[in-house]
Amino acid sequence: MKKLILSWILLLGITQVHAQFFNREVKQLYDQAVGKNDTLQLYHLQQQQTALDMQTARFSYLPRLGFTGSYTRLNDDIVFPENLQTVLMGTQSLLIKEKLGLPFNGALPSGVELQPVDPIQRKDILKANVNAQWLLFSGFKVSNGVKAYRHQQEAYNHLTARQQTRLWLDVSEVYDKMAVVAGADAIIRSSEKILEEQTRFVTKAIENGLATPLERKRIELAQQKLDMKKIENQTNMQLLQYKMHQLTGAPETELKNLHPELVPAAFTFEPSHNRQPELKALDEGIAATHYMQKAALSEYVPKVAAYGQYELRDKDLSLLDPRWFAGIRLQWNIFDGLAARNNAQKAVLQRQQLQVRRKAAEDMIQLGQDKLQEDYLLANQKLKLKKAEIKLTEDTYDFVDKQYRNGLAGLTDVLNALNDIEKVKFEYQQAVYDQRRAALSAAELNGTLLNNL
C-alpha cells in the first residue's frame, strides 16, 4: 500500500534550515503586537521624558528674559529730613540772589518764589522693567546631568530591545502552538482518507462474505475518535486565536486566514560578542549613576552668571534708582546642610544596587546558556528519533495492512498500527515545537535573536 499522505510535509521541516527564525506571518503579527504592547509604549514615553530632561539641562545656558510690572502705594512720600530741606531751600535762595546780583543777606524780590524740594520717592510707584539672567558656568552640573540623561536614555533603548525580544518569543510561541494544532488537523485528515479506503475495502469484503459488519463498526468507531480530536483541535485553535488577538489586536478574520508553519529552527552555539539587552541596560544605568554623583557634588563648585535690568518707565523712579544696570554674579555654595553630599551618596547606592543586579543577571545567563545548549541538543536528537519512528510505524502499517488483506491479520491490528502512526506524528509535531522553543530561547539568551529576523 502507498505511504501515508502528508508524511513528506511533516518531514520536510527537518531538511529545510532557515537562516531566519520567523516567517512573514509572524513578522506581520509582531508588527501589530508592537503597537498594542503596554510595556513598549511605556518605555517610549520614558525615552521622550528623558529627552526632555536632557534638553532642559542643556537649555540652562540660554539667557532668561523676563518682564516685570508692579504698582506700589506707600503711606506717604519719602522726603529729606526737615533740617536738610531747610539747608536745600537756603542754598536755592543764595543761588538765585547770586544770579540776580543781590547781596546774600538781602531779601528776594517779591515775584521770585522758591521751588519746593522734591521727595526722594513719591508714594505712588508704577514700575515696568525688562530683566535678564544668563548662566555662564554651572560648575559642571549641566554637563554631568546631560551625560547622566544620555546614559539613562540608552538604558531605555536596551530595555526596549529586551521587551521586543520577549514579544517576538511570545508571538512566535502562540503561532507555533497554532501550527501544532494545524498539523494535528492535517494528520487527522490523512487518517480519515486511510479510513475511507479501509471502509471501501471492508464493504467489498462483506459483500463477498470475507468480513463481518463488526469490522465496519470498528472503522466507524475509529472515525468517531478522529471526530472528537477534530472538535478538541477546533477548541484549542479558538483559544490560541483569542490569545493571539490579545497580543496583537489582529481581527478574528485575519487570524482565521493564517497558515501557521512549524519549521525547526537552526542555532549554532558560538561565543557571541553581543551582550543581552538586559546587561546593556544595567551597564548604562551604572554609567548614569556615575554622572549623577558628579552632578550632585557639582553643587559645591562655584557658579557664574550674568544679570541685568532695564527700566521701561522712569517717571516713578526714586532719586537713588538707576535706569539700568548689569553685572556678574559668583555663587559658591559653601554649606547646604549636606544635601548635595546625601544626593551623591544616593547615586552611589543606586550604582551598587545595579552592580549587584548585573552580577546576578550575568551568572544566570551563564548557567542558562549551559542548560539551553543541552536542551537544544536533546531536542534535535528527539526530532531525529521521531522522524525515524514515523518511518518505522509507516512500514509497520504497510506490512500489517498487507497481512490483513491476505487474511493473515485482523482489522484491529490495522487500526492499532494506524493509531501508532497518528501518535508518533503528533509527537513529532510536539518535538518540532520543543526544538524551536529551545533554539529561540538559546538565541535570546545569547543576545542574537534579533539578528536572525
Query: For 249-338, where are the alpha helices, taking DSSP H only?
Result: 252-256, 277-297
Assign residue 405 the CATH number of its domain: 1.20.1600.10
Whether residue 373 is contained in a domain is answered as yes
CA 368 – CA 361 distance, rounded (Å)? 10
List pLDDT tens digits, range 332-352: 988 888 899 999 999 999 999
* 154 and 280 both lie in a single domain: yes
pLDDT of residue 9: 33
Q: Which domain holds residue 292?
A: 7-64+139-300+336-452
Does 11 have pLDDT greater than 60? Answer: no
Per-residue pLDDT band for 107 (boundaries 50, 70, 90) equals confident
Q: Is residue 433 part of a domain?
A: yes
Residue 438 CA from chain centroid, whole number = 24
Q: Is the predicted pLDDT of residue 246 greater than 60, yes or no?
A: yes
Classify residue 134: in a domain, yes or no: no
pTM above 0.85, yes or no: no
Confidence of residue 81 (pLDDT cuts 50, 70, 90): confident
376 plus 447 within the same structural domain: yes
Q: Verify that 199 and 275 share a domain, yes or no.
A: yes
- Report pLDDT for 210: 65
**326 occurs within a structural domain:** no
Q: What are phi and psi of 72, to 5 degrees?
A: -130, 135
- 233 or 89, higher pLDDT: 233
> CB–CB of 148/321 below 8 Å?
no
Query: Cα dihedral sign for 87, 93, 99, 102?
Result: negative
Kindly report, residue by residue over 426-443, the tens digit of the pLDDT. Answer: 999 999 999 999 999 888
Distance CA(389)–CA(28), nearest Å, equals 35
Q: Per the structure, how many domains does the chain have? A: 2
The partner residues of 64 in beta bridges, in order of sequence, read: 133
Q: In this structure, are 211 and 294 located in the same domain?
A: yes
- What is the spatial distance between Cα 127 and Cα 109, in angstroms, rounded to a whole number? 41
Please give the angle made by the CA atoms of 58, 60 and 66, to the nearest 5 degrees. Answer: 140
End residue of a domain, out of 109, 128, 147: 128
Domain presence at residue 318? no
Model confidence pLDDT, tens digit, residues 284-329: 999 999 999 999 999 999 999 999 999 998 888 888 889 999 999 9
Which range of 199-213, 236-250, 359-373 scores highest in mean pLDDT? It is 236-250
